[in-house]
Amino acid sequence: MKNRWSAFLIILSIIGPGFITANAGNDAGGVTTYSVVGAQYGYSMLWGLFAIGIGLAVIQEMNARMAVVTGKGLADLIREKYGVKLAFFAMAVLLIANVGVCIGDFAGIAASLELFHLSKYMTIPIITFMIPFILFKGSYSTAEKVFLGLTLTFISYVITAFLVKPHWGGVFTSVVKPNAKFTKDYALTLIGMVGTTITPYMQFYLQSSIVDKGITLKNYKYEQLDVYLGTFWGILTALFITVCTAETLFKFGIKINTAQDAALALKPLAGDYSFLLFAVGLFGASLLACFVIPLSTSYAICEAFGFESGIDNKLKDAPVFFGLLLFIIILSGLIVLIPGISLIKTILATQQLAGVLSPVILIFMLNLINDKELMGEHTNNKLQNLIARATVILIILLTIAAFIGNFI
């Protein structure tokens, strides 16, 4: 009995990084992409979600294993094994992908506040100023808890999914029999779904969080549990969001062009207040991401090149760190302020960009995780290598397909 209790306590103290990372996947990009998937393609993309889910679980576990065995972050490992040139390349890819996702999240903030008729020209400058202010003032930990709380409204998707009474049998058979029409847009949306699920910044963030927690090899099986459960929860949320929009928007042929359209998916649950529910959740998730992404990007880049990092530094002691932070935040704010851009289209495009770039990071990871000198006896087994490599190949093929589709 004592053993079970202590095991339970160990689980409680370890659970966190996997779950938090999965929740981070439900940012503006995630919610919007899954909504579009359901609204535009019904259930014909669920097979992709399922396949990506398996890939994600394996990849997250790889990050966790690297964190526990080496005790180092991903940027650190890339720099130590491949040297400056390749580390520079990897960081450049990460920076581009992350700025992209950050832009998407700023767009998410603008879109959610527009539902309350607040113009983006007013909200975005305020937010762009507020984020560095909160970070430097040091009240980030409280702010983080607030935003995390706001994201709980996404439970409404779970409730709605059951309220709309889909034909669950049909939902699950479409995983095996997609009935998909393979067009360029289909490929692009699929890439977007990959990009929003296997976001590069999540890989770095997850590994760093686990390193920070100091989890040892002894307790690793609990961390594995956290990672797998987190992935499962993330994919499940995506499924529910898709079901909601499929049953409400797809059935009536409503395409999603604005956040308003996406909010309509929650009408069965909240009626005219659906937009309120949607807006609050979208706002919280996007704002949280707007803190996490610039922070984790700056940390990763400074880690790779040996620049001083850390929020409690003075500005002049860590110029590169703060410089990067401000650069990412301000650039994202500026881009979203461009008059006339479709916020929804921006969000979707940035997820596609992240998707296209993710194989680069994954290939680095595959190489690292199979390095015996680094991982000892904890390299990938055949199945893990198979799934991870298959995921990378799938993404690359989709990218090529979408690219070619441009010219057909």
> Residues interacting with other proteins, by CB under 8 A?
70-72, 76, 79-81, 83-85, 87-88, 135, 137-141, 211, 214, 216, 305-306, 311-312
Q: Which is nearer to other proteins, 20 or 392 (CB)?
A: 20
The whole-angstrom separation of Cα 52 and Cα 232 is 11
Least Å from the CB of residue 190 to other proteins:
35
141 vs 406 by CB, closer to other proteins: 141
Encode 91-123: b = buried (16+ Cβ within 10 Å), e = exposed: bebbbebbbbbbbbbbbbbbbbbbbeeeebeeb
Distance CA 109, CA 351 (A): 16
Handedness of CA 196, 197, 199, 201 (dihedral sign): positive
Question: Which residue type does 364 have?
Answer: F
- Please report how close the Cβ of residue 110 comes to other proteins at its closest, in angstroms: 27
Distance of alpha carbon 249 from alpha carbon 263, whole angstroms: 10
Q: Which is nearer to other proteins, 10 or 270 (CB)?
A: 10
Q: Which two tokens stand for residue 261?
A: 């359209």
* Residue 139 or 179 having the CB closest to other proteins: 139
CB of 101 to other proteins, least distance (A): 23
CB of 406 to other proteins, least distance (A): 32
> Least distance to other proteins from the beta carbon of 221, Å?
17
Q: How far is the CB of 81 from other proteins (least distance, A)?
A: 8
Nearer to other proteins, 312 or 377 (CB): 312
Buried b / exposed e along 131-155 (16+ C-beta atoms within 10 A) = beeebeeeeeeebbeebeebbebbe
Instruction: With beta carbons less than 8 A apart as the criterion, state whether 276 and 270 touch.
Output: yes
DSSP class per residue in 110-129: HHHHHTTT--HHHHHHHHHH
- Judged by beta carbon, residue 136 or residue 233, the one nearer other proteins is 136
